[in-house]
Structure 1
Amino acid sequence: MTGLNVENITHDWGAKRALDAVSFSVAPGQFCALLGPNGAGKSTLFGLLTRLFTPRTGRIEIAGHDVSREPLGALSKTGVVFQQPTLDLDLSVWRNMLYFAGLHGITGRAARLAASEALDRLGMEERARERVRDLNGGHRRRLEIARALMHRPGVLLLDEPTVGLDAQTRSDLVAHVHGLARDTGLAVLWATHLTDEIWPIDQLVVLHKGRVLEQGEVPVTGAALTAHFLRLTESEGA
C-alpha cells in the first residue's frame, strides 16, 4: 500500500527500550491518532519516521519508499509538524513559506504558487504579509501545517501539534486536518495524549511504554474513550 507503513520497529536509548516491535499502517485519506501518555515513545517514533535516527530493527515505508534505503524519496513525500515550533518569528508568513520552498528545491513562480495554494488551504493567505511574531498560537500552527504541505507530500506527520493551544483552537485545528485527509488523500499520523482530539471515524493506535497496546477502529468516544485508555495503560502498569 502507499501511505505510511511501519513494520516491527524497535529502538533503544542505551539500556532503555523506547520502542518494542511497533507495527501499524495508515492508508491514503486516513487520519490515524497515535495516542499515548508523555514518555510513551511517540516522539522517538517521529524521529525514526523523519530519519533523525535509524531503528535497531524493522522497516518504515512512506508513499512506497523505504526510509532506510530510499531516504530522499521518502522524505520528499513527507510533511512534518514537530511538537516544538520551527518558524522564524522575525520573518513574514510569506517569507517563511518561500524559505521552506527553497529547501525543497522549489523556486520562482512555482514556489509562489505552492505557497499561495498552501496558505489558502489553511485559511492563512490574508495573513501572508504579517510577521510570524504577531500571530497567535493557532495561526502559527496553521502556518506550520501549510508549510509542511508545500511540496505536496503523501504523508503528513504531526507530533502533539496542539500543545499550548486553547480548547477551541485545538478543536478547529483537529477538524481542519481531518478535512485535509478527507479532501486531499493525505495519510495523516496525529500524535496526541488527548482523547478529545480523536474522532469516531479515525484509526487509533495506542502506544504505551514503547509498545502498541491496541490498534484499529476507535472503540468508543468522549469520556468513554478516556476511561478505556486509562484501563489499557493501567493494566500494563503505570
Structure 2
Amino acid sequence: MTGLRIDGLGFSYGAKRALENVSFEVEQGAFCALLGPNGAGKSTLFALLTRLFTTREGRISVAGHDIASNPRQALARIGVVFQQQTLDLDLSVRRNLRYFAALHGLAGRAAEMRIEAALERMAMRERADELARDLNGGHRRRTEIARALVHQPAVLLLDEPTVGLDAEARRAITTHVHDLCAGDGLTALWATHLTDEVWPEDRLVILHRGCVLADGITREIAGQEGLTERFLSLTGAPA
C-alpha cells in the first residue's frame, strides 16, 4: 500500500521553475529521505504537500486521498515537523500536545490517551510537565514529533528536522523516526541535505534544481563510491 504518491508535480515562482515533473511514491511504513542541497526545491515540495502552496501541475495522494480533490481527508492523514521551531515555549510539553489535540477536535480521555502514547513513543513522558523553553534542542524536536503524532497520521513530513542539533541529538532523532516506521507502520518523508542522516536501507530520492536525479534504495544508489561521493557527483557540488 502506498503512503505517499507524487505524480508529475511542477511549480514556479513567477518565471523561475522550482519543481519540474517531480514523481515518486513511498510505501506505507517506509522511511524515505529527500536529499538535496540548499535550494533544491525540498521546502517548495513540502509547502505543496501541506497545502501552503497549490499547483495545477501534477497530483499528490496521501494514504489514498487526493490532496486537490479531498484536501481535508488528505491533510488529516499528515503530521508535520517544520524546519523552524513551532512550540509555545511558555507551555509545558504536555500542554503543547493538548493544545494541538484540541485543534484536531480531540478532547477528554481520548485526547489524553493519545498524548500519553505519543509522549511514550518519543521517550518524553518524564519531561511532560517541563516548560518547552527549559528543554534542550533535541528534546524540543522530540516534543514536536510527539505533537505531530497525536492525531495518528499515516504520513509524517519532517523538513530538515535536525537543524541546529549536535551529532548525538541528530542521531537520536533519526533513530526514533526509523523506529516509528518499523514499529508502527508510519510513512516518513525526511528532507535533509546531510548524507549521514540517510541509512543504507532507506528509500532515497535525490532532488536538485527542482528535478529528481535518483530514486531507489540508498545502498543501490550509493554503489561503490558511497552516498556522499555519489550525491556530490550527481549535484555537481564541490567536495
Q: Which residue of 1 aligns with 2:14?
A: 14
Local SS of the residue matching 1:39: coil
Superposed CA offset, 1:133-179 (max 9, x none) = 00000000000000000111110000000000001110111111001
Count of matched residue positions in the alignment of Structure 1 and Structure 2: 236
CA distance in 2, matches of 1:74, 1:60: 9
Q: Which residue of 2 aligns with 1:37?
A: 37
RMSD of equivalent CA atoms: 1.5
Tell whether the 8 Å contact from 2:104 to 2:151 is kept in structure 1 after alignment. Answer: yes
Q: CA deviation at 1:52?
A: 0.7
CA distance in 2, matches of 1:49, 1:194: 21
Superposed CA offset, 1:168-222 (max 9, x none) = 1101111110010000001110000000000011011000000001110113389
Tell whether the 8 Å contact from 2:2 to 2:25 is kept in structure 1 after alignment. Answer: no
Q: CA deviation at 1:55?
A: 1.8
The reply to whether residue 220 of structure 1 matches residue 222 of structure 2 is yes
Q: CA deviation at 1:71?
A: 0.5
TM-score norm. by structure 2 comes to: 0.96
> How does 1:128-207 map onto structure 2 within 5 Å?
128-207=128-207
Q: Which residue of 1 aligns with 2:74?
A: 74
Rate the CA distance shift 1:167–1:222 in 2: closer, same or farther, 3 A: farther
Q: Which residue of 1 aligns with 2:234?
A: 232
CA distance in 2, matches of 1:224, 1:205: 15
CA distance in 1, matches of 2:154, 2:224: 30
Report the AA paired with residue 233 of structure 1: T
Tell whether the 8 Å contact from 1:36 to 1:207 is kept in structure 2 after alignment. Answer: yes
Tell whether the 8 Å contact from 1:12 to 1:56 is kept in structure 2 after alignment. Answer: no
CA distance in 2, matches of 1:2, 1:215: 16
CA distance in 1, matches of 2:224, 2:167: 14
Which shifted more, 149-158 or 216-225? 216-225
CA distance in 1, matches of 2:139, 2:8: 37
CA distance in 2, matches of 1:200, 1:131: 37
The reply to whether residue 61 of structure 1 matches residue 61 of structure 2 is yes
CA distance in 2, matches of 1:150, 1:21: 33
Local SS of the residue matching 1:157: strand
Report the AA paired with residue 234 of structure 1: G
Q: CA deviation at 1:234?
A: 1.1
Identity across the alignment (%): 62
Unmatched 5+ residue regions in structure 2? Answer: none
Superposed CA offset, 1:24-66 (max 9, x none) = 0111110000000010000000000001111230000001100
Report the AA paired with residue 103 of structure 1: L
Rate the CA distance shift 1:91–1:200 in 2: closer, same or farther, 3 A: same
Tell whether the 8 Å contact from 1:206 to 1:213 is kept in structure 2 after alignment. Answer: yes
